Chain A
Amino acid sequence: MTIGQITVSDVSKRFRLERNRPSSLKEALLRTGRRNIDDFWVLRNVDFEIEPGSFFGLIGHNGSGKSTLLRLIANIHRPTSGQITTEGRMSALLELGSGFHPDLTGRENVYLNGAMLGLSRRHMNDAMDKIIDFSGIGDFIDEPVKIYSSGMYVRLGFAVSVNVDPEILLVDEVIAVGDEAFQHRCMDHMNLLREKGCTIVLVSHNAALMGDLCDTIAWLDHGRVLELGEPAPVLEKYLDHMRGGGTTLTTRD
């Protein structure tokens, strides 16, 4: 496998929703009646390959499973069946403050993030100034991140993610939180990373943004891939479907 490649082969993911799940041993031992388990399949038989260096978009309605798929690629969850393989150093920006420990300072979190990516302290020392500069956090870098505003969280997270030379970058809409100027900087930086050959996977339901950025788009609906291919035709079908009032509501069936 070449660096930057992502292979998703026949992946399904089930979440167990257990009603009245016992939260203590006492409840677990004294429970009467049957366990109340609802199986909910978030993803079903998802199968595709992401080429090294490509900009891949995942689009779909709320609850379509696109974020879950991204989390599976990031190795946060394990697929219920099927397999995902990734090759190369992967950095993920999944949600607000992802990968930050609230009690640690911004600087300590940068080191922790570096360690999680397998980068040495020395490497992070070199990148530190760039990261602080890019995030625009200033002196707050030595304050615990729990006092940060949501914008600061995202800016620092993004600054770390793009300044550690990732070979794969996973982004889940977080860039939408920053202000205009910051969003522009994010776009510039993602383009720069793409030129360096970094594979980027972006999750969004902003069709216009996806059309501008992506080489390939997968449209997820209720956990299945409906369309996969060039942005223009996929987005057209997606928008038609959405305008037609397609089943956009999340029905947890």
Chain B
Amino acid sequence: MLKLSPAAQKSANLIYHFAQRETKSRYKRSLLGWFWSFANPLTTVAIYSFVFGVVYRASPPATENGNAENFGFFLFSGLIAWNLFTGIVNGCMGWLQSVSDLRKKVYFPTETALLGGAASNAVQTSLEALVLVAIMAALSNLSWTVVFLLVALLFTIAFGLGVGFVAAIMNARYRDIFYLVGVLLNVGFFLVPVVYPVSFVPEQKWGLPIRALVEWNPPALFVGIARDGVYFLEVPTLGHLAAASAWATLTLAVGWTYFRARSMDISEEP
């Protein structure tokens, strides 16, 4: 067994507590419980498959063996990373808000509430990923490259937490941030190549290298790496991996530093 210092042990207990609470409360008083965590991404996949695959007759991007060439799988393999990202960023603001009253009365490290919530999201995403991988295995479209799905999700968690830490602190001061972030994430969903492949984006437009902008922004890198691993069965390019890990670690480091510097002020917000 790993032996932790008392402070780390305390944080670990709290993270576990908050993760459990988040998981329990998410579908409390709902009959179908965890079913809803699949219903949402599944309907999204169905709707977009219909609109793009049937109405626009877009053919799904070709894969090597063609076994799982389906617009729905293409979409779901990217959506899984995107949804994890938005879930954590939106969640962080809510998780901090839900413990801020408590924090005014008793000391505990506030980051544990955010880390616990993120852990709960990560578990849920893992279940979705398992379903995806199982389907891919059944269609014999699986290779060792599936580890890059895991890598992409880990990058996404780190990056999402980095952004979430900053958003949560700012939201404690100005509740507008929650709505602003919601709008930005909505825009992001279409700016990040989740529903279309990067190759559809023109290289230049309005004098801007827009394909490079779409390709190299952090959520797009995570979506791309996940998709490479589980849909195309390709090894992501070294450039993509390097850029993704740099974005993830830097954002997490900045977010964490900012959060630690400001989290003691939470108890003094009116």
Contacts and interface: CB of A to CB of B under 8 A. Distances in A.
A77 B267 contact: yes
Interface in B24-41: none
Nearest to B264: A78
A94 interface: yes
A95 B105 CA distance: 8
A interface secondary structure, majority: loop
Interface in A4-38: 15, 21-26, 28
B174 A92 contact: no
Contacts of A98: 105-106
A115 interface: yes
Interface in A109-160: 111-121
Interface string B236-270: 00000000000000000000000000001101101
B217 interface: no
20 contacts: A21-B270, A23-B174, A24-B174, A24-B176, A25-B180, A77-B267, A77-B268, A78-B265, A92-B107, A97-B105, A99-B105, A99-B106, A108-B21, A114-B13, A115-B13, A115-B17, A116-B14, A116-B106, A117-B10, A118-B7
A115 B264 contact: no
Interface of A: 15, 21-26, 28, 74-78, 92, 94-95, 97-101, 104, 108, 111-121
Contacts of B180: 25
A192 to B, nearest CB: 23
Given A77-B268, A98-B105, A114-B13, 20 more contacts: A15-B268, A24-B174, A76-B104, A76-B107, A77-B264, A77-B267, A78-B265, A92-B106, A95-B105, A98-B106, A99-B106, A101-B102, A111-B17, A113-B106, A115-B13, A115-B16, A116-B108, A118-B7, A120-B13, A121-B13
Nearest to A114: B13
A131 B241 CA distance: 53
Contacts of B102: 99-101
B177 interface: yes
Interface in B85-132: 99, 102-108
Contacts of B9: 118, 120
Contacts of B14: 115-116
Given A25-B176, A75-B107, A99-B106, A115 B10 contact: yes
A15 B268 CA distance: 8
A112 B116 CA distance: 13
B6 interface: yes
A76 B105 contact: yes
Interface of B: 6-7, 9-10, 13-14, 16-17, 21, 99, 102-108, 174-177, 180, 264-265, 267-268, 270
A28 B10 contact: no
A72 to B, nearest CB: 10
Contacts, number: 69
B110 to A, nearest CB: 11
Contacts of A117: 10
Nearest to B170: A25
A116 B16 CA distance: 12
Nearest to B177: A25
Contacts of A77: 264, 267-268
The 8 closest A-B pairs by CB, nearest first: A118-B10, A99-B106, A75-B107, A98-B105, A25-B176, A115-B13, A116-B108, A78-B264
B2 to A, nearest CB: 14
Nearest to A90: B107
Of A24, A76, A78, A100, most B-chain CB atoms within 10 Å: A76
A73 to B, nearest CB: 10
A115 B103 CA distance: 14
A21 B269 CA distance: 11
Contacts of B108: 115-116
A120 B270 CA distance: 32
A118 B13 contact: yes
Nearest to A89: B6
A95 B180 CA distance: 36
A24 B14 CA distance: 31
Contacts of A25: 174, 176-177, 180
A118 B105 contact: no
Contacts of B270: 21
